[in-house]
Structure 1
Amino acid sequence: MPFNINVRERNNVKVTGNGETTLMLAHGFGCDQNMWRFMLPSLESNYKVVLFDYVGCGQSDISAFDKKRYQTLDGYVQDVIEICEELKLQNIVFIGHSVSSMIGMLAALQSPTIFSKIVMICPSPCFLNLPPDYFGGFERDDLEELITLMDKNYIGWANYLAPLVMGQSNNTELIKELEESFCSTDPNYAKPFAKATFFSDDRAALTKLHLPTMILQSSDDNLASVEVGEYIHKKIPNSVLKVIDSQGHCLHMTAPDSVLQAIEQFLG
């Protein structure tokens, strides 16, 4: 990492709350740290909380965007590790939404002393169907078409993806918020993150993760099915799986109380 980069500014890092245990909240693709706001007041009263935006998202410093660095998940993994090193964090609980679940896992494998436990909200190690052993939910052609749509009609892409991700039956204001979050992210930064998210295959890393891990899966999720959660649970040795009765891929926004309760039980 170049010495002239201010990590806190680069990733719009915010530290809040009080408590002996530190939680790091990591947003998913097309989102930013604001997506944690429904859970934040409860978490702040019991824990120290670290919030941030990946480069290219939210209020991050977009001048720090490096196309080569962020064309794979490893660039986002480095963001996480560098933030933790900057803040001198040890033994933290990493809470990741969607693709950040895998980013957190990869960061923990690289820097095991930083992390003590991991919470995965609606994770998927691979969104692709790779029969006969694994069904991530999407055919490669469908995902490539989705990426192509980003080039052809970015607003149309956001309009299509937001209800799919948030869950069509959920609050229309939340769907609109996600749509606007997608739209506010420059395609030059969103597209590499989308490719890294939807075409990664991190299944091989699951068995290497030995930290206590909780998998929170939605009972009705267009992007990551309960079967995907069960697959992750079988592969991560020290894991628990909790299925929350809710629709959509953003449980921290649509069922924040259930997620909070599960996290508090997990952390004891």
Structure 2
Amino acid sequence: MAGRPRTSDDAPQGAAASLLNGLGVLEAFSIEKPVLGVTEIAQKVGLHKSTVSRILTGLADAGYVQRDEATGRYRLGLGLLALSGPLLADLDVRRAALPYLEDLTERTGETSALAVWNGQEAVVVEQVPSPHQVKHTASIGTRYNKFASSSVRVFLAGLAEGAVRELIGSGAVLVGAPYDSDAAAAAELAAVEKAGVAVNDGATTPEEFGVSAPVWDYRGRMAGCVTASAPRTRVQGEVAAELAAAVMEAAAGVSARLGYGAKRAAEA
């Protein structure tokens, strides 16, 4: 998703094109590549280096990127927090989830997080890090689009089968073995939906264990998912089962706070 090229024949012109090009430059940065040079960004977004250089100068003046004077390379700036702050503050599910995430981390000793679905990816919007020195964390704003990710599978399990096939077919969601067939992917998502939880036991990175459970709002719609992540060496066997149960309990608590239990009671 990062650094979308602006090269289509019917691309916007003028001010709209400049705005989209600026957003493309910002999207070129990622957790894996937080520091980039002009040439790297130009290659990612499909723009000339001189154009990228001008965009970066404007973004730096606004505080949205920072330039390292010694290397000439760039990283995202703190100005972006001013843009994301109102959005994060307005997320009801984020406010509802925070005390449950804090309790989950206190009970399990592992990192807890809340993610929402942006249509193609799971995006972390809140996190409570583990107190352990060795831990797995994901910064707010981290995006996941791998099928093997526990949060991605939770969200996909709540979508129509046709929508899932479209996301996979377009490459928006990346699928690998053993889920790299329609039948295998569908069977896995059916299992996740039935169990109410998805587990990632080293499937995305060999060192990480992750478990996610859905959060539902008063309309019965999936509003997000609660995830706990930890080093695999610390979470095996009975401990893994206990962590999964704790995540499901936390997700159920957030759902109840969003009114999901009241809806179910009314339907009954």
Q: Which has the larger radius of gyration?
A: 2
Q: TM-score, normalised by structure 2?
A: 0.26
Q: TM-score, normalised by structure 1?
A: 0.26
Q: Which has the higher contact order (CA 8 A, sep 6+)?
A: 1
